[in-house]
Amino acid sequence: MFKLLKQISINTNFKKKLLINNGFMNINGIKYYCTSNKQQDDKKKVLITTPIFYVNGPPHIGHLYTALLGDALGRWNRFIGNDTLFMTGTDEHGIKVEEAAKKNGLKTIDYCDKISNRFRELFDKADIKYDDFIRTTEPRHREAVTTMWNRLLERGYIYKGVYKGWYCTSDESFLTDDQVTEGMSPITPQNPISKKCMVSLESGHEVNWIEEENYMFKLSEFSSTIENWFEEVKPIFPTIHVNLLRHMLSQGVKDLSISRPSSRISWGIPVPNDSTQTIYVWLDALTNYLTVTGYPKVSPTSPQSYWSNTTHIIGKDIIKFHSIYWPSFLKAADYPLPKSIICHAHWTVNREKMSKSRGNVVDPFTEIDNHGLELIRYFLLKGGGLENDGDWSEHELAVRFKADLADTYGNLISRCTGKSLNPSGEWPKSVVDHSLLKLEDQNLIDHSSRLVKSVSSHYDRGDFKSGIFEIMTFLYECNLYIQSQAPWTLVPKPNRVGSDLIRLNTIIYVAIEMIRISSLLLLPIIPSSATLTLNHLSIPLEKRLNPSNFNFGYDYHHTNSLNSKIPNETLILFHKKL
């Protein structure tokens, strides 16, 4: 369990003994999130969230991609010095979960435990450095949801009424007449014959007409507020998704049913003081983002809360809930709105949609075992899209491994730290005399400065695909630099004329600096491989944090005074079954 305190100030030496993961300490089996007073004063608090993943089935490659985006953004924020809280977790309420549990012959809570643990196992296997893994079945979350409900009720935004309209059980979403059309029901083992029915225009899933007494939320009052938020704050990235949201708002926003009869849906959080109704799963699930900040004990408006700088990472299929419903709930509660919402596209397999019926759902556990974690992280973060769907392809996976990781990044490291260019194995001397730099050297150094600025901008927005593309383009240029400068012709050998140790040192120094800077930029993407490279270069831990360490001019001789030579052991960055 987790318990968040408003303030804990502890002795630094004592703190080192207690911290177990980015600011958490364990006292008597309870996890406490804590920072020193200096940390609280000096660092900007940032909350990064993935959606909590629905436990109606095991995790697939798309879930891992979303988690990797959050992990990379969390790592980047820690690198630049922000006090970062990165959360993920599982959404465990609703009728689909009950049905899945029955199908698997398990009690609902036992089924939730099983699938939630599977998500946690995947994220641990994928080196996802989450600070909090929340489950909606936890008592702390029930308290947060109940508090949120009561606040909306007290502020006059909840009333009881009769809901009449279309409802999609698969999407757990209400739809207007304009959002449904005639279609055919999907073929399933339970329903082997397709029949005519009404379906959602957005998802294609079957919808049903329902009439029942529910509690309603006055969503219609927030249409203009949300539209102004889109225009003034521009929280949605990429902006291509805003057009869809504007279209949704232009169709008219009706009040939203936020409860279900308990007789129909019992697996959820009951409405306070009315056990005949269960809180709508999306109001329940979305409130998790407040739960992890310590709500209701810590107010979202408190300086101690991480809420004021919140970034949600979501898939495009749930953009309506996060960009219209959620900010409306928050506005009604008089809480700050999220700073940004990063919306990504989906994954196909060989250009086909993933589905159980096609038998092409990609198992992330198997892929990590087959190809190695670093390659999977790299491929997903480079191949996934924020605007367009990424495509999973075993062929493309092999191509990216060879072209990017082996022939570009790995090859540059091997050439510049190997014995062929540096038989003595000594660290290159810093080039403090810039008159020794040729135009080609300076051009590469200048490119590295532009690279850091551009990649930092991409990473700040969660656009790791664009950042990786620029890094690999730069590393390819670095390989061309080595090829054009031909440093191997300058290495002293018997009977060789033209050896030039000063020029050789300059080339090796410039190239190793480019490796160091690129590896720092790759830490959020391939953390293990980038760390191994920085270890090989004997870069101390304190020089792997803070953007100031991107500057050209690192002194390898001064730092490595006790280790005057480059490590002689073979550096193995990637483990891949070919």
pLDDT one-digit tens code per residue, 536-548 = 999 999 999 999 9
What is the pLDDT confidence band of residue 550, given thresholds at 50, 70 and 90? very high
In terms of pTM, does the model score above 0.85? yes
Please tell me which residue, 428 or 63, carries the higher pLDDT value. 63
How far apart, in whole angstroms, are the C-alpha atoms of residue 83 and residue 85? 7
What is the pLDDT confidence band of residue 16, given thresholds at 50, 70 and 90? very low
Are 90 and 117 in contact by the 8 Å Cβ rule? The answer is no
The chain-wide mean pLDDT, for the chain, equals 88
pLDDT value, residue 17: 32
Q: Where are the domains of the chain?
A: 2-152+285-374, 393-559
What is the pLDDT confidence band of residue 341, given thresholds at 50, 70 and 90? very high
Fold annotation for 2-152+285-374: Rossmann fold (3.40.50)
Please tell me which residue, 81 or 177, carries the higher pLDDT value. 81
pLDDT value, residue 442: 96
Which one of 127-136, 161-170, 252-261, 545-554 scores highest in mean pLDDT?
Answer: 127-136
Q: Where are the alpha helices (DSSP H) in 461-554?
A: 464-485, 501-522, 527-536
Please tell me which residue, 314 or 184, carries the higher pLDDT value. 314
pLDDT of 476 > 90? The answer is yes
Dihedral sign for Cα 226, 318, 129, 396, please: negative
For residue 132, the 8-state DSSP code is E
pLDDT of 578 > 60? The answer is no
pLDDT of 189 > 90? The answer is no
Q: What is the mean pLDDT of residues 230-239?
A: 96
Fold annotation for 393-559: Isoleucyl-tRNA Synthetase; Domain 1 (1.10.730)
pLDDT value, residue 559: 63
**Structure tokens given for 299:** 């107010």
pLDDT value, residue 564: 62
pLDDT value, residue 7: 32
pLDDT of 175 > 70? The answer is yes
Q: What is the mean pLDDT of residues 366-375?
A: 96
What is the pLDDT confidence band of residue 357, given thresholds at 50, 70 and 90? confident
pLDDT of 530 > 50? The answer is yes
What is the pLDDT confidence band of residue 40, given thresholds at 50, 70 and 90? very low
- Percentage of the chain beyond pLDDT 90 is 71
pLDDT value, residue 408: 97
Are 65 and 348 in contact by the 8 Å Cβ rule? The answer is no
pLDDT of 20 > 60? The answer is no
Of 84-88, 125-129, 464-468, 567-571, the one with minimum mean pLDDT is 567-571
pLDDT digits (tens, 9 = 90+) for 273-312: 999 999 999 999 999 999 999 999 999 999 999 999 999 9
For residue 225, what are the contacts with CB-CB under 8 A and spacing of at least 6?
Answer: 328, 331
Map residue 25 onto helix, strand or coil: strand
How far apart, in whole angstroms, are the C-alpha atoms of residue 66 and residue 69? 5
Residue found by looking up tokens 């020089």 in the block? 543
**What distances in angstroms separate CA 224 from CA 11, 179, 440, 512, one per listed residue?**
50, 21, 55, 54
pLDDT value, residue 356: 74
